[in-house]
Amino acid sequence: MTTKPKSPIWHPFTQHALQEKITKIVRGDGAYLHTADGRRIIDAISSWWVVTHGHCHPHIVSAIQEQAGKLNQIIFAGYTHEPAEELAAQLLKLVPDGLEHVFFSDSGSASEEVALKMAVGYWHNIGKPRRCIVVMQHSYHGDTIGAMSVGARGVFNAPYAPLLFDVTSIPFPVSGREQATLDALESACQNDMPAAFIVEPLILGAGGMLMYPAWVLREMKRICEASDVFFIADEVMTGWGRTGSLFACEQADVIPDIACYSKGLTGGALPLAVTLCRADIFDAHYSTDRTRTFFHSSSYTANPVACAAAKANLDLWHDPETHQRVASVGTMQEEALEVLRADPRFENVRRTGTIAALDLKASDEGYLAELGPKLQASFKQRNLLLRPLGNTIYVMPPYCVTAADLDQIYGSITDAAAALT
């Protein structure tokens, strides 16, 4: 048995008995993090995919400072405030036309719970109850009980399996076998009377950075529409430029019935999420009958400081430079990947927008299982924040990352691969 950590803090997704050391960070600026012992780390995954414009972006920081001195929290039932009102109005101008209402929450998982409750609530309130949810294999939607229920099952949620509800799962659209996915969705829609289909558009994140083409997304939406099944787009990871466009659904001309955004919503500065929905979903809850109320809340719903940060993020998206940076991160990533495509140690070298991923080959299954933690430790030694998913290494940097940073990131990936395989 290893010695127990001195700190009382229980970190997420961390096996304290195996993790040799937790790194203390004292400051962040742009693509960099500074450690308590004086090292500079490149944040190659935007601190779990949230810090889109880089750490401590001055425009977001000043919006936070200003709002914090005015109104920093207010109950959101029966009360409202300017940052939330303005944010909602501006958000609705950015998203596809069919989305008309905005519900606030404070994490990606919560936004998924809200989406599921909205869908099931709609069917209940119109007197045609439906409870089945269709999901895609390998998906990840969060770690609360509902979000886990619609996500992939594995060691990370095995103890709670008895608490998770049943869903209908369709296969991931593997290249060349997309029709099987579409057929499975069609058959689920026709036979199971689902309330909704929930999906990560274009790329499944935590499930292994698995990418699929826009036409499949478009077809999935068409199938749901034909069967009157709500299409929930989980854009928690893919939103805010990650896939090259502001939202992934744009690339498929898909207007979701319900959409969830978080992570980059505040540029990664503060926790906030939104679930947007069609007017008829709101209308099904709009009634003088109190039992039709949408019964969901959290104490910090639409926190004014977080809303101010999100408004500042939206300002940055009105600046053409942000869009140029997104395009240039994509180009730089592609150039780096081109080199690795010729390296026999890697396979499935892939990219969607600013997200690059590749799998490190290992002939031995046992060794493969050990690769993730080994890689992570070796990146840490190289002053790099990367958190592989098993043998899948991915790079999802802030948009302020430079060519020199990416050189260092990919140089370290090659070195780590050479040392470990």
Distance CA 130, CA 124 (A): 7
How far out from the chain centre does Cα 20 lie?
A: 28
| Amino acid letter, 285 | H
Does 46 contact ligand PMP by CB under 6 A?
no
- Contacting residue, 54, 146, 205, 353, with ligand PMP by CB under 6 A: 205
- Contacting residue, 32, 123, 140, 379, with ligand PMP by CB under 6 A: 140
Does 392 contact ligand PMP by CB under 6 A?
no
Query: In this complex, which beta carbon is closest to ligand PMP, that of residue 108 or of residue 244?
Result: 108
How many C-beta atoms lie closer than 10 Å to residue 160's C-beta?
A: 13
Written as six digits, the tokens of 79 are 């009360």
Q: How far is the CB of 415 from ligand PMP (least distance, A)?
A: 27
Beta carbons within 8 Å of 420's beta carbon, 6+ residues apart: 360, 371, 374, 375, 378
| Amino acid letter, 177 | R
**Which one of the spans 67-75, 88-96, 135-143, 394-402 is the region binding ligand PMP (CB under 6 A)?**
135-143
DSSP string across 174-240: -TT-HHHHHHHHHHHHHHS--SEEEE-SSEETTTT-EE--HHHHHHHHHHHHHTT-EEEEE-TTTTT
Does 107 contact ligand PMP by CB under 6 A?
yes
Which residue sits closest to ligand PMP, CB atoms considered? 108
- Contacting residue, 200, 257, 359, 405, with ligand PMP by CB under 6 A: 200
Mark residues 238-267: x for contact with ligand PMP by CB under 6 A, - for none. Answer: ------------------------x-----
Angle (CA) 239-222-285 rounded to 5° is 70
| Residue 140 among known ligand-binding residues | yes
Q: How far is the CB of 198 from ligand PMP (least distance, A)?
A: 10
Written as six digits, the tokens of 256 are 């979701």
Does 236 contact ligand PMP by CB under 6 A?
yes
Q: How far is the CB of 3 from ligand PMP (least distance, A)?
A: 30
| Residue 149 among known ligand-binding residues | no
Query: In this complex, which beta carbon is closest to ligand PMP, that of residue 245 or of residue 412?
Result: 245
Distance CA 408, CA 406 (A): 5
Does 108 contact ligand PMP by CB under 6 A?
yes
Q: How far is the CB of 272 from ligand PMP (least distance, A)?
A: 10
Does 104 contact ligand PMP by CB under 6 A?
no
Task: Strands of 250-378 (E only): list them.
Answer: 258-261, 273-277, 346-352, 355-360
Binding residues for ligand PMP, total number by CB under 6 A: 14
Query: In this complex, which beta carbon is closest to ligand PMP, that of residue 13 or of residue 79?
Result: 13
Does 181 contact ligand PMP by CB under 6 A?
no
Q: How far is the CB of 274 from ligand PMP (least distance, A)?
A: 12
DSSP string across 136-156: ETT----SSHHHHHTS--STT
Does 113 contact ligand PMP by CB under 6 A?
no
Report yes or no: 242 and 325 within 8 Å, Cβ to Cβ. no
Angle (deg, nearest 10), helices 178-191 and 214-226: 20
Q: How far is the CB of 2 from ligand PMP (least distance, A)?
A: 28
Q: Which residues bind ligand PMP (CB under 6 A)?
A: 107-109, 112, 140-142, 200, 205-206, 234, 236-237, 262
